[in-house]
A = this chain, B = another copy of it.
Amino acid sequence: MIRNPDADISDDLLEALKKVSVPTATATLMVRGFQNTFPIGIDPKAVRSGQVMVGRARTLRFIPMREDLVKAQYDTVEGRPHRQAIESIEPGEILVIDAGGCLGAGVVGDMFTRRVQARGGTGIVIDGVVRDLVGIREVGLPVFCRGAHGAGINRMLMSVGVNEPVQIGGVPVLPGDILLGDPDGLVVVPPQEVKHLVEHGVEHDQQEEFTRLKLADGYPLHKAYPPDKELQKEYEIWKKTR
């Protein structure tokens, strides 16, 4: 069974991760050996300006529906993996749905979104579409997806598994992965890397702020980005005096 290594991720650590930007996290993970962490095409469709999403992944997987099975699936209100996934959301979790990129059936509407929020979930990420962006934006929970379709799940899909390894926008997502999202996009962080990201990210962001000042002063790239030896010294002083 493919699964994540154990990693103790406190709520404080998750909170600290919010201060790292998505591009900084993606670039840092590359240096650490993870090349494929930024899903392509899964856009911040319901994310407010300045809003940051952080949480642990709970996954859900859909495949194209088969008529006889989807009927059985709808005989009981409880017996459907997608509803089980939502009703098992824990505080601090993000519902990560692999709908195979399907554009022809909305897998989440404002009701499901409200329920995830009510259970303490911190976001929803879909390789697929929602049913109503207008309604979902009113809820306030961050949602990343490919767009919207007016029809519900059973037009094309059926849910088949909860908390399995899945893919989102070409990126692997395992249960327990940490997701970080903001209006620039989304990055999937292996849990053992969160600590490094938080430590490195603060330093990196300070350095970029310093570089911005130097570029504004007219410094060329090879002096300021990254700082050359001379500016590196200046940066160390600047950092202390902030």
Contacts and interface: CB of A to CB of B under 8 A. Distances in A.
A227 B208 CA distance: 52
A149 B27 CA distance: 10
A148 B109 CA distance: 26
A190 B150 contact: no
A184 B73 contact: no
A134 B33 contact: no
A24 to B, nearest CB: 8
A110 B37 CA distance: 21
Given A151-B38, A161-B164, A190 B68 contact: yes
Nearest to A133: B184
A114 interface: yes
A212 B117 CA distance: 12
Contact of A149 (B78, B166, B185): B185
A171 interface: yes
B148 A185 contact: yes
A179 to B, nearest CB: 13
A182 interface: yes
Interface in A72-119: 73, 77-78, 81, 83, 86-87, 100, 103-104, 106, 109-112, 114-115, 118
